[in-house]
Structure 1
């Protein structure tokens, strides 16, 4: 894979901005990732008249969580995504409401709602089922006021933001089944907490993190 920098601007601030632009992937005699379509192939030097496959965009994987609805979000617990992709990091899990705005999460302060701080997050789970959407806000509001999600119950390793998010999905499942007679099966149930967590991470979190890591790797090379 060849990485073609944008020669139009090389300032540090512009570099940071470009890292949040979609990347263009082109294949000629080699694979190229770039910010602008190049005139010539970096491998053979020929003009790019004929491509082995159509050029395509690699979209920005990060979203502004405050503009999302009905979603489970993740972001680095500390630092930026750059720090996260360069080394192992913990993730903080948030929940976007039925109306875009505040993102809810379970912390050492209990269930909180933040109006900022989730501007660069990944959507790892999203619902588009009308029945689930109807129950989402109700279940989230109910859980947010329950004693079992108070700050006194919080444990960084054993009872945290992940548990809150998984419990919401379970609660929505049960509410839809109770009201409509059939479960949407948002998440496979297990009495083993760690098993539920690992299934969710494997199926929903890691695929999105890998996509973001690939984008990060390429964007750093071309900036």
Structure 2
């Protein structure tokens, strides 16, 4: 985790949460020295991961930039698949891409299947990637893109707990809840870029 992305939360003199990168000696609300807490300081869970450290997952990232510094809710997202060895497979304008680690240092990962499905995951991924459909000449931004590649793979898995019938349903089940949690962290993180603390209203 980037040390700059550390966000700490605590409560001192009232029920209002104080967020900071480092706990201050004096309370920002009452200005008294902090001897005890209403809520002990704890580090907010960091929602992002490096794709190579999240094998057997589906991963998303902004198409341009990264979540922490650049992402807005109207921005396009890019999606890929991580195999059991941590290699990222994605479909984009150049066609099928493997192992573009630098662009997947700050992403959201979705664990879709249990550990026992790892071999099947890799087998279906190889089969999906071998389809000539995923060549650069077939890429279409709106009709045959990274999302279509991932959804075709997931449907081919035939995992019984994974039920969706459209891109919209997949987004509702998996992507939107994770993005909403990440946005809470992003909002606080950005407020702390130019301030020592942020007090929740």
TM, length-normalised to structure 2: 0.84
CA distance in 1, matches of 2:81, 2:140: 19
Q: Classify the secondary structure of the residue corresponding to 1:55.
A: strand
Tell me which of 27, 35, 38 is aligned to 2:21. Answer: 35
| 2:81 aligned with 1:114 | no
Query: Any runs of at least 4 consecutive aligned residues in structure 1 with deviations exceeding 4 A, and if so which?
Result: none
Match of 1:179 in 2: none
Give distance in 2, aligned partners of 1:160 and 1:128: 23
Count how many residue pairs are aligned between Structure 1 and Structure 2: 188
Contact 1:19 1:220 survives alignment (8 Å): no
Matches within 5 A, 1:35-184: 35-81=21-67, 82-85=69-72, 88-100=74-86, 102-116=87-101, 117-123=103-109, 125-173=110-158, 183-184=159-160
Residues 203 and 189 of structure 1: CA distance in aligned 2, closer, same or farther (over 3 Å): closer
Shift of 1:185: 2.4
Q: Does 1:204 align with 2:174?
A: yes
Q: CA deviation at 1:93?
A: 0.2
Computed over aligned residues only, the root mean square deviation of the Cα atoms, in angstroms, reads: 1.9
Task: Report the counterpart of residue 213 of structure 1 in structure 2.
Answer: 183
TM-score (norm 1): 0.76
- By how many angstroms is 1:115 displaced? 3.5
Gaps of 5+ in 2: 194-201
* Runs of 5+ unmatched residues, structure 1: 1-16, 174-182, 191-195
